[in-house]
């Protein structure tokens, strides 16, 4: 179970805050559990790990098996909450180099998460001569980036296999009833999976949104759900000492109140990069509104100690770090002994890479705390599906609580609409004519 070590924030928060915050956390906790707080209609994820659609779960496994048997590649089309969780889990457990590895599962390409023409051409070129399937994921079914990408990959599939066979290779994860994608899926007979009404994009990784691509990569989704269920149970505790999400939410809120404005999520595993991207979206979209909220950033140590380390050590003191530490890795990799000792490293001979990393972690911790950067440490178990399931639920629950502590709706994202409206207007989408004239005038066109 994830343990939270708060001993390295205490000197920055001299007054006891836990007792003062507990009543407010208790209220937020009650609202999450009952789904009767602000945005409560989007709290389906709270009970999801123990209360999910078993029939759909089996269909996900079956579809994953079919994709594994008939495809050398899976193209996952989605943006934001419709892709970051799956990418985070796959890279963390199977490696950022997953596609380069020798394996008996398909390569996985994530597209539709931007508007890069270069990325589009590159992925299509990689699929030349390759049997592939497509999982298009969009809760609304109308988001421009994935919708445009789907046009390209659907055409590619239809040209390669014909319309009927292509339809058998398209899996649509979307709303149960609404949206253009659902209509397209029904019309063409694509297999569909549901993004439940009461679960928003960034809280959806443990639904078909994340589970289908994760299962295709060969990850044990039962274990992922078991880990999440174990954390769901821990997060039911109505008490600071027993509830890790309360502890994390309270600590980061109090640091925010003390003037810290940026939370940096740090990990010592390069494979954690997209889990951090998922975390940034989760917290950024959930808290950043009404002129409030910590700015979520991330670093990858020790690499970024040689780039961002200087700022963290001595820059403006408005940051704190949350450091994820995993248990021992499967490979020891002891440093080889070299009789010539030309590099002077024989003092490390026989020491495992984990041991060296642990000294780097402790050395960095002491330096950063000394430099004025509070450190929250999250001690996780070994990097596996169970641990990631725990971590996903932990971060989600603490995020919901954090939103309620800040008095914002942690489940909406009104600010995301602003750029979309402008983009539609500039692209000439019907219905946006007036806004288009205003924007063109502002741009001097
Ligand atoms: O968390 C969210 O709701 C968003 O990040 C969405 O996931 C993202 O905008 C994609 O939306 P959709 O799944 O409707 O295409």
Catalytic annotation on 160?
no
Residue found under tokens 């390069």: 270
- Residue located nearest, by CA, to atom 8 of ligand 1: 80
Angle between helices 54-70 and 221-234 (to 10 degrees): 150
pLDDT tens-digit readout, 174-229: 999 999 999 999 999 999 999 999 999 999 999 999 999 999 999 999 999 999 99
**Which residues, 6+ apart, have CB-to-CB distance to 59 below 8 Å?**
191, 193
Residue 209 alpha carbon, nearest atom of ligand 1: 13
pLDDT tens-digit readout, 96-140: 999 999 999 999 999 999 999 999 999 999 999 999 999 999 999
Cα(376) to centroid(ligand 1), Å: 29
CA angle 6, 8, 12 (to 5 degrees): 100
Above 90 in pLDDT, residue 54? yes
Burial status of residue 150 (CB atoms within 10 A of its CB: 0-12, 13-18, 19 or more): buried
Query: Among 285, 300, 321, 390, which one carries the catalytic annotation?
Result: 285
Residue 80 alpha carbon, nearest atom of ligand 1: 5
Q: Are 224 and 389 in contact (CB under 8 A)?
A: yes
pLDDT tens-digit readout, 129-184: 999 999 999 999 889 999 999 999 999 999 999 999 999 999 999 999 999 999 99
Q: Are 300 and 358 in contact (CB under 8 A)?
A: no
Cα(111) to centroid(ligand 1), Å: 14
Q: What is the pLDDT of residue 220?
A: 98
CA angle 124, 127, 132 (to 5 degrees): 120
Cα(194) to centroid(ligand 1), Å: 14
Q: Which of 140, 142, 199, 279 to mutate to test the pocket of ligand 1 (most atoms within 8 A of CB)?
A: 140
Tokens found for residue 145? 């980036």
Q: Which of 139, 148, 184 to mutate to test the pocket of ligand 1 (most atoms within 8 A of CB)?
A: 139
Q: Which of 76, 77, 82, 84 to mutate to test the pocket of ligand 1 (most atoms within 8 A of CB)?
A: 82
Catalytic annotation on 145?
no
Above 90 in pLDDT, residue 299? yes
For residue 319, what are the β-bridge partners?
A: 262
For 101, the 3-state DSSP assignment is: coil
Output helix, strand, coil percentages for the chain, rounded to the nearest 5: 55, 10, 35
As a whole number, mean pLDDT of residues 410-438 equals: 93
Q: Are 236 and 33 in contact (CB under 8 A)?
A: yes
Q: What is the pLDDT of residue 152?
A: 98
Q: Whole-prediction pTM value? A: 0.97
Catalytic annotation on 177?
no
Query: Among 102, 306, 434, 442, which one carries the catalytic annotation?
Result: 306
Instruction: Report the pocket of ligand 1 as residue ranges, CB < 6 Å.
Output: 79-82, 138-140, 143, 146, 200-202, 285, 413, 416
Residue 285 alpha carbon, nearest atom of ligand 1: 1
Tokens found for residue 344? 């002077």
Cα(413) to centroid(ligand 1), Å: 9
Q: What is the pLDDT of residue 14?
A: 81
Tokens found for residue 27? 């209220």
Residues in the chain: 445
Cα(267) to centroid(ligand 1), Å: 26
High-pLDDT (> 90) share of the chain, % = 96
């Amino acid at each position: 179970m994830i343990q939270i070590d708060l001993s390295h924030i205490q000197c920055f928060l001299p007054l006891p805050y836990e007792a003062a915050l507990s009543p407010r956390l208790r209220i937020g906790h009650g609202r999450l559990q009952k789904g009767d707080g602000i945005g409560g209609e989007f709290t389906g994820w709270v009970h999801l790990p123990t209360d999910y659609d078993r029939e759909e779960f089996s269909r996900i496994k079956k579809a994953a098996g079919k994709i594994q048997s008939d495809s050398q590649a899976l193209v996952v089309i989605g943006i934001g909450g419709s892709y970051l969780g799956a990418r985070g889990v796959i890279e963390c457990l199977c490696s950022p180099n997953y596609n380069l590895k020798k394996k008996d599962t398909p390569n996985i390409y994530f597209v539709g998460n931007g508007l890069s023409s270069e990325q589009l051409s590159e992925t299509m070129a990689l699929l030349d001569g390759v049997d592939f399937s497509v999982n298009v994921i969009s809760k609304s079914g109308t988001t421009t980036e994935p919708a445009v990408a789907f046009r390209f990959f659907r055409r590619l599939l239809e040209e390669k296999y014909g319309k009927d066979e292509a339809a058998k290779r398209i899996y649509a994860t979307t709303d149960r009833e609404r949206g253009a994608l659902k209509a397209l899926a029904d019309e063409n007979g694509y297999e569909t999976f549901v993004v439940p009404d009461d679960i928003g994009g960034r809280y959806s990784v443990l639904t078909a949104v994340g589970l289908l691509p994760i299962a295709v990569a060969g990850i044990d989704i039962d274990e992922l759900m078991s880990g999440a269920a174990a954390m769901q149970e821990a997060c039911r505790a109505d008490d600071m000492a027993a509830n890790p999400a309360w502890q994390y939410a309270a600590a980061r809120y109090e640091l925010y109140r003390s003037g810290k404005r940026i939370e940096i999520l740090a990990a010592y595993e390069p494979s954690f990069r997209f889990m951090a991207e998922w975390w940034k979206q989760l917290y950024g979209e959930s808290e950043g509104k009404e002129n409030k909220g910590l700015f979520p950033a991330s670093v990858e140590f020790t690499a970024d100690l040689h780039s961002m380390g200087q700022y963290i050590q001595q820059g403006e003191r408005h940051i704190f770090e949350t450091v994820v530490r995993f248990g021992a890795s499967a490979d020891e990799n002891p440093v080889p002994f070299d009789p010539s000792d030309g590099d002077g490293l024989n003092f490390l001979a026989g020491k495992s890479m984990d041991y060296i990393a642990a000294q780097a972690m402790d050395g960095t911790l002491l330096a950063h705390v000394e430099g004025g950067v509070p450190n929250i440490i999250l001690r996780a178990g070994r990097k596996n599906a169970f641990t990631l399931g725990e971590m996903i639920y932990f971060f989600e629950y603490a995020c919901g609580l954090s939103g309620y502590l800040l008095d914002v709706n942690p489940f909406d994202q009104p600010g995301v609409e602003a750029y979309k409206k402008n983009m539609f207007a500039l692209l000439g989408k019907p219905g946006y004519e007036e806004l288009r004239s205003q924007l063109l005038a502002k741009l001097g066109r």
